[in-house]
Amino acid sequence: DAKTTQPNSMESNEEEPVHLPCNHSTISGTDYIHWYRQLPSQGPEYVIHGLTSNVNNRMASLAIAEDRKSSTLILHRATLRDAAVYYCILRANAGGTSYGKLTFGQGTILTVHP
Amino acid sequence: SAVISQKPSRDICQRGTSLTIQCQVDSQVTMMFWYRQQPGQSLTLIATANQGSEATYESGFVIDKFPISRPNLTFSTLTVSNMSPEDSSIYLCSVVLPGRGRQYFGPGTRLTVL
C-alpha cells in the first residue's frame, strides 16, 4: 500500500486557520486521498476526500498538489471541537482488491488552544 | 450516511475467555470491516467481512483467534477468542456505503483483559 507521512503533532489557536500537511510521494494514479479524524473516545469520522482537484465541504478544504505527491487539509477556523487525530489515507479506487481498506498511519494530533 | 451501533460498548474479561462483539448497521451494506486500536496506537485492519463469503484476514490475524460471522447485509460479529491481556484494545467495525467513497465507523468496543 502507498504510504503517507504526516507530522506527529500540530497546534493552533481557536478561530485561526489550520493547515495539516501530508506527503504521499508513492501515490498511484488511481488512489484517492482521504482524510479522517478521530475525536477522543470516538471512532474515526470522514472529513474529506479528493483525487486531483481541490475539494471543499462544510468541514474543511483539501488542497492537492499538481503532482499529487502531497496534500493539505485546511480547517478554515479551528474550534476546540476540532481537537483530534487527523489521518491522511490513500484509498484504492473501486474495483481493486484493496477497495475499501483503509491503512491508518499514526496521524497528526491537533491541539487547539482557546 | 450510515448509523452503526456496537455491543457491548465496553467489557472487562478474564484471560482465556472469549467475547463476541456485535455490529449493526441501519442500512444494507456489502463491505464491512473490523479494526483494532491498541492503547495509544492507530487503527489496524483485522479483516474484511463480506456477506455470502468467508472473511478475508489481514496479515497477522487468523480466523481461529478472530472468527467473524456475516449472516446478512446489516449485521456482523467479531469474536476475540482465548483472550490474553495483549488483546486489550478498542475494536471497531466500519462500512462503505454503495456508491459512496467514504467509510463510516462504529463507536467501538473497549475491551480490557485481565
pLDDT per residue as tens, chain A (114 positions): 568 999 999 999 999 999 999 999 999 888 899 999 999 989 999 999 999 999 999 999 999 999 999 999 999 999 999 999 999 999 876 655 556 788 899 999 999 999
Task: Judge: A102–B43 Cβ closer than 8 Å, yes or no.
Answer: yes
Over chain B, what HEC string results? CCCEEEECCEEEECCCCCEEEEEEECCCCCEEEEEEECCCCCEEEEEEEECCCCCEECCCCCCCCCCEEEEECCEEEEEECCCCHHHCEEEEEEEECCCCCCEEECCCEEEEEC
A interface with B, Cβ–Cβ below 8 Å = 32, 34, 36, 42-46, 49, 85, 87, 91, 99-107
Model pLDDT, residue A97: 56
Is the pLDDT at B15 greater than 70? The verdict is yes
Cβ-based contacts of B104 with chain A (< 8 Å): 46
Kindly indicate the confidence band of residue B19, based on its pLDDT and cuts at 50, 70 and 90.
very high
Task: Judge: A43–B33 Cβ closer than 8 Å, yes or no.
Answer: no
| Closest approach of B84 to chain A, Cα-based (Å) | 23
Model pLDDT, residue B61: 97
Model pLDDT, residue A93: 67
| Closest approach of B99 to chain A, Cα-based (Å) | 9
End-to-end CA, chain B = 37
Q: Which amino acid is at A9?
A: S
Task: Judge: A49–B107 Cβ closer than 8 Å, yes or no.
Answer: no
Model pLDDT, residue B53: 82
| Closest approach of A50 to chain B, Cα-based (Å) | 10
Task: Judge: B105–A45 Cβ closer than 8 Å, yes or no.
Answer: yes
Task: Judge: A104–B43 Cβ closer than 8 Å, yes or no.
Answer: yes
Model pLDDT, residue A99: 66
**Residue in A with minimal Cα distance to B43:** A104
Question: Tens of pLDDT along B56-113?
Answer: 999 999 999 999 999 999 999 999 999 999 999 999 999 988 777 789 999 999 999 9
